Amino acid sequence: MSGAAPIPVEGTVRRAAPLSESFRELGLLVFILLLCGLFQLGNHNFLTLGNIRDLLTNTAILSILSVGMMMVILTRGIDLSIGSIIALAGMAASMTVSAHRDIHPLLSILEGVAVGTACGALNGLLIARFNVLPIIATLGLMNVIRGGTYLLSGGAWVSSYQMSDGFKAIATGKLLGVSYPILIAVAINLAFVYFIDHTRTGRRIYAVGSNPDAADVSGIPRRRIIWLVYTIMGALSGLGGVIWAAKFASAQSDSAVGFELSVIAATVLGGVSIAGGSGKVSGLVLGTILLGILNNALPLIQVSPFWQMAIQGAVILAAVLTNVLVKRNNQRSALQRRVI
């Protein structure tokens, strides 16, 4: 650990522990700061309060879902069905609001979360109880749930005028100048930090992903943990779905198609290992912010829109490589200082 004093050995050089050892994702953080600087040069309106508020509001849904995805990936799983769950939950909540205009927005949120939880529980059932591989179960359910959304709505949309103001305020309302989606995202992230780092179940999630067989043998209820993880992912997707419908004031059966890829990107960018068992929330938050910055800043800089995609890919690759190189440097210096 960085706190241990290295034993001086004849002929070695005493070097201080690099900062990156105490903050694993330092490489990513520096990269993000540099990127912000570059974007600010491209458009002076980038680092304004208004734009940052827009950025954070647009990234809120991504953040909520990436919390769930991190837990899933920690257990060596993956969830491709979240886009479809967003669509289904949003559609269900919107259709209810459309039919009963005076329903309280909190009930709408609850409805969305309930729908999402049911879908997530189904995922968990297939994966934990029936041993279906996560990629297959969630890929299959992705199609089934998307089809279900279409059948539920009969192909119709729910538009802005059919939604109550209260419902739409879920996304536009503010408390002390901060919009609700940002507050919800922050609350979820804080709850997640507490859960994953300071509760027994949270630590067990790491254990299950790190070494499933050892976890089994140690008496950790592996199947229940895996089922729990997918159910939570579903619940968070449901929540995201309601916010999505409120934010865009529209619910359609092809909402959030392909969104799962953004969520996975945000999670993996932040250093959560796809092999399971390792990853920190700090990295997750950084990964999400990086993606949010890209989505927000690329339309701002005066580069041809046809270059947007290529730039986005290049930045993601650069961010990931930078992180790897910093970690390698980290390990090498730790080795040199004989710190284990």
Partner 1 sequence: MERTIRVDRPWSWRSFFLQWEWLLVLIFLAVHVVNSLLSPYYFNADTFLQTPMSFLDKAFLVLPMTMVIILGNIDISVGSIVALSAVLMAVAYNAGLPMPLAMALCLAVASACGLLNGILMTRFKELSSVIVTLATMIIYRGIAYAILRDQAAGGFPAWYSALGWDSVGGIPIIVIAFAACAVVFALLLHRTSFGRRIYGMGSNLTASRYSGVRTDAILLTVSVLTGLMAGFTALFLTSRMGSTRPNVAQGYELEVIAMVVLGGVSTSGGKGRMAGPLLAVFIIGFLNYGLGLVNIPAQVLLVILGLLLILSVLVLNLRFRDRHPRTPPATEIAGP
Partner 2 sequence: MRKLLCRALTTVALAAMLAPPAQTWAASGDKYAIVFKNTGNPYGDRQMSGFKAGIEEQGAQAILRAPDQPTAEAQIQILEQLISQKVKAICIVGNDRDALQPVLTKATKKGIKVFSLDSGVNPASRLTHVNQADSEKIGQTLVQAAFDMSGGSGEIAILSATSQATNQNLWIEFMKKELAKPKFANLKLVKVAYGDDLRDKSVSEAEGLLQSFPNLKVIIAPTTVGIAAAGKVLTDKGLGGKVFLTGLGLPSEMATYIENGVCPYMFLWNPIDVGYLGSYTATALVSGKITGKVGEKFKAGKLGDYTITKAPDGGTEVLLGPPFKFDKANIADWKKVY
Interacting residue ranges for partner 2, rule: CB under 8 A = 43, 45-46, 48, 50-51, 54, 58, 146, 150, 155-157, 159-162, 172, 247-250, 252-255, 257, 295-296, 298-300, 302, 305-306
DSSP 8-class letter at 130: S
Binding residue for partner 1 (CB under 8 A) from 33, 52, 178, 274?
274
- Residues from 134 through 153 that contact partner 1 (CB under 8 A): 135-137, 139-144, 146-148, 150-151
Q: In sequence order, which residues have a C-beta less than 8 Å from that of residue 94 and are 6 or more positions away?
A: 158, 162, 163, 167, 245, 251
CA 257 from chain centre, in angstroms, equals 16
From partner 2, partner 1, none, which one binds at residue 23 (CB under 5 to 8 Å depending on kind)? Answer: none
Q: Choose the stretch contacting partner 1; rule: CB under 8 A; options: 29-37, 133-141, 218-226, 236-244.
A: 133-141
Residue burial 239-275, b: 16+ Cβ < 10 Å; e: rest: bbbbbbbbbebbbbbebbeebbebbbbbbbbbbbeee
Cα 258 → chain centroid: 14
Q: Which is nearer to partner 2, 197 or 254 (CB)?
A: 254
If the CB atoms of residues 142 and 268 are measured against partner 2, the closer one turns out to be 142
Task: For residue 167, give the amino acid letter.
Answer: F
- Token pair listed for 102: 């005076």
Give the nearest distance from C-beta 257 to partner 1 in angstroms.
9
Name the binder of 52 from partner 2, partner 1, none, CB < 5-8 A by kind: none
Q: Does 273 bind partner 1 (CB under 8 A)?
A: yes
Q: Which residue type does 299 have?
A: P
CA dist., res. 222 & res. 228, Å (int): 10
- Of 259, 260, 287, which Cα lies nearest the Cα of 273? 287
Q: Choose the one of partner 2, partner 1, none that binds residue 194, judging by a C-beta under 5 to 8 angstroms depending on kind.
A: none
Please report, as a single letter, which amino acid is at residue 107.
Answer: L
Interface with partner 1 (CB under 8 A), residue total: 46
243 binds partner 1 (CB under 8 A): no
DSSP codes joined into one string, 168-203: HHHHH-EETTEEHHHHHHHHHHHHHHHHHHHSHHHH
Tell me the closest approach of the beta carbon of residue 98 to partner 1, in angstroms.
21
For residue 230, the partner it binds in partner 1, partner 2, none, with Cβ less than 5 to 8 A by kind, is none
CB-nearer residue toward partner 1: 90 or 105: 90
* Angle CA 175–252–178, to nearest 5: 10
Asked if 61 is part of the footprint of partner 1 (rule: CB under 8 A), the reply reads: no
- Tell the smallest beta-carbon distance from residue 53 to partner 1 (Å): 27
- List the one residue from 121, 311, 334, 339 that touches partner 1 (CB under 8 A): 311
Which of partner 1, partner 2, none lies near 254, with the C-beta cut-off 5 to 8 A by kind? partner 2
- Torsion angle defined by CA atoms of residues 22, 25, 28 and 33, in that order, rounded to the nearest 10 degrees: -40
By CB under 8 A, tell whether 34 contacts partner 1: no
**Residue 308 has which token pair?**
């947007």
317 is an interface residue for partner 1 by CB under 8 A: yes
**211 binding partner 1? (CB under 8 A):** no
Identify the residue among 82, 236, 243, 269 touching partner 1 (CB under 8 A): 269
Tokens 């802005």 sit on residue: 160
Is the alpha carbon torsion for 244, 309, 263, 67 positive or negative? negative
Q: How many CB atoms are located within 10 Å of the residue 175 CB?
A: 9
Contact residues: partner 1, CB under 8 A:
80, 126, 130-133, 135-137, 139-144, 146-148, 150-151, 253, 261, 264-265, 268-269, 273-275, 304, 306-314, 316-317, 320-321, 324, 327-328
